[in-house]
Structure 1
Amino acid sequence: MDYFMIRFFFLLIIFFKLILSSKEVLVFAPLPMLNKTEVYDNFYPMIKLLEKRLDKKIIFFYSENYENILEQFEKSQIDFAYLGPLPYLKLKEKYDHVEPLIYFKDKNNSVYYTCSLVKFLKSEKIQKIALTQPLSTCGYLSVNSMLDNKLEEYKYKYLGKHDEVALEIIRGNFDIGGLRTSIAKDYYHLGLEEIKRTDKLPGFVLAGNSKTLTKNELEKLQNILLDVPSKDYSTWGKDIKYGVEKAFDKDYDKLREMLKDINIPTQDNFDAK
């Protein structure tokens, strides 16, 4: 076998190794702030655009448990995810391969958001408090802050999704609760009323997994989204339809300081049944 034939086979082996090492299917995980259908509908147009531009199949990983999403990300089962500030920070603490890529702007061109403490119209008592999830920024962390660090004086229960907090207060099963302001507003016409609002928090981030994606792949994903024209992203879900901005880990430093002084319980402190 001559030199050129040996070289040809050597290059062929390298070529096939590169093909096999390249991921043809990516896994995307959004936080379950709403029901599964609504979450899917919100992100479907964005995912279809990414599939076309990346020339890869992208599948959804949906879980109603924030902790499960973070665990699967850490196990390299998720390639990129839509994370709130608290889930992002908790993941970053133990898994340095999570890379912030972009923030999604709101209709006021801001990448920040707020959480609201809400009640049902004319209700004055505060006994039972509805929370989202332990790893939700608008859950224990924000509600405790809005109650001047007195949440432990009340009964509280984790309900999971933000919309479930709103509905359970409207049904009269809880007196007050905490959820993302943009979601709370969808229920004001049903009698939900804001009591208090947090200061602006660093926005939800699309974060990539640098253990499953190369630096070039992460940069390509980031640049595709940064270059999307408004006519395209205006068709996306209501919380991601106003454009994007590059994200940086240092933006979360203030929230890191807040977390140093609080221990967030993972269990309810009463049985609502």
Structure 2
Amino acid sequence: MRRDFLKKIVVATTTLTLGISTLIADSAKWPEKLTFGVIPVAGSTSMKENFGPLTKYLEDSLGIKVEMKLAGDYTGIITGMAHNHIDFAYLGPKSYVEAARRANAEALVVEVDGESGLPGYRGTIITKKGSGLKTLEDIKGKKWAFTSSQSTSGTLVPTVMFSKKRIDPKKYFSKVIYSGGHEASILSVKAGKVDAASTNNLDFNRGLGKQWTKDEFNVIYTSELIPGAPVAIKKELPISLKMALKGALVSYKDAEGLKRLKNKGFIPGDDSVYNSIRELIELKKKLKAQ
């Protein structure tokens, strides 16, 4: 199965510089099992439901065992890659930048948003419908939730926005928490445990009809387009494996699987896609120093 899949990749890749014999020889270096890390944007049950079909598809396509691995926070996935416990991972843009720096991660593909069809998504700030909280001014003095320190839409993007507006969250809000994931933040707003939270349209849509409905929330802020989430692999793994995984991800068209992910699949991508995120990180540092 692996040999047949490699041949398909060779035919489909017009920019290929390695010959088929080289690739077949390289495939002998493949590990017997791959560990697929997924950042915890939702609870473990939701994560298994959403990413389970993709994991099974990759296992069948590559012809080797693929095991999904979850962690308690974003940093756990990055650390897992750094210590060679995770071979490839679904990451957020900021967590990818950190994984590239700390864990020698290499972006293969970029996620395509299910609503816009663009390789990106938008950060949002939400409040509970009926709360009367409809603007950034309204949530002053209220309870606020970021997600993880490594989250792009859940922390980096709103922090830069706040800094530009001269808002210090620790002073502006009565309480600031880190929920750990987007699902947790959204459910905290729904339950009234916090008054407002930062999340994004993609992860919000993943819980629609299961955990919440649109009419339970106000969206009081929407960011500019953020580069789509990447799937990244350890650079030192065989090039034939990286090519095969990239080809499999780009070819993923299972309707039910994509419905669970709330995306339209993946397109080829590379590290340069996330330079804008590196610029945001630097801007955050400069704004904080002012």
User: Shorter-chain TM-score category?
Assistant: 0.7 to 0.9
Could you tell me how far apart the structure 1 residues matched to 2:149 and 2:229 are?
Answer: 17
Report percent identity of matched pairs: 24
Partner of 1:159: 179
Inter-CA distance 29–149: structure 2 relative to 1 (3 Å threshold):
farther
Task: Please give the TM-score of this superposition, normalised by the length of structure 1.
Answer: 0.81
Structure 2 residue aligned with 1:239: 261
TM-superposed CA distance for 1:43, in Å, is: 1.5
Q: From 248, 271, 282, give the equivalent of 1:260.
A: 282
Q: Deviations over 1:100-140 (max 9, x none)?
A: 11112122321110111111123334221111111111222
Per the normalisation by structure 2, the TM-score is 0.77
Question: What is the CA-CA distance between 1:164 and the residue it aligns to?
Answer: 1.3
Q: Which of 227, 237, 249 is 1:225 aligned to?
A: 249
2:26 corresponds to 1:23: no
1:215 to 221, 239, 247: 239
Aligned partners of 1:27 and 1:43: how far apart in 2? Answer: 13
Q: Which residue is equivalent to 1:192?
A: 217
Whether 2:159 is the aligned partner of 1:134: answer no
Q: Does 1:99 align with 2:119?
A: no
Kindly tell me the number of residue pairs found equivalent between the two proteins: 243
Match of 1:168 in 2: 188
Secondary structure of residue in 1 paired with 2:261: coil
Within the candidate set 172, 176, 180, 2:200 is matched to: 180
- Tell me the distance in 2 between the aligned counterparts of 1:249 and 1:149: 31
**Moved >6 Å (runs of 4+):** none
Distance 1:101 1:37, change over 3 A: same
Query: Which residue number corresponds to residue 43 of structure 1?
Result: 51
Displacement, 1:178?
Answer: 0.4
Offset at residue 78 of structure 1 (A): 0.6
Instruction: Name structure 1 gaps, 5 residues minimum.
Output: 1-17, 264-273
Q: Is the 8 A contact 1:131 1:178 kept in 2?
A: yes
* Counterpart contact for 1:120–1:170, Cα < 8 Å: yes
Preserved contact between residue 159 and residue 284 of structure 2 (Cα < 8 Å): no
Structure 2 unpaired stretches of 5+: 1-25, 286-290
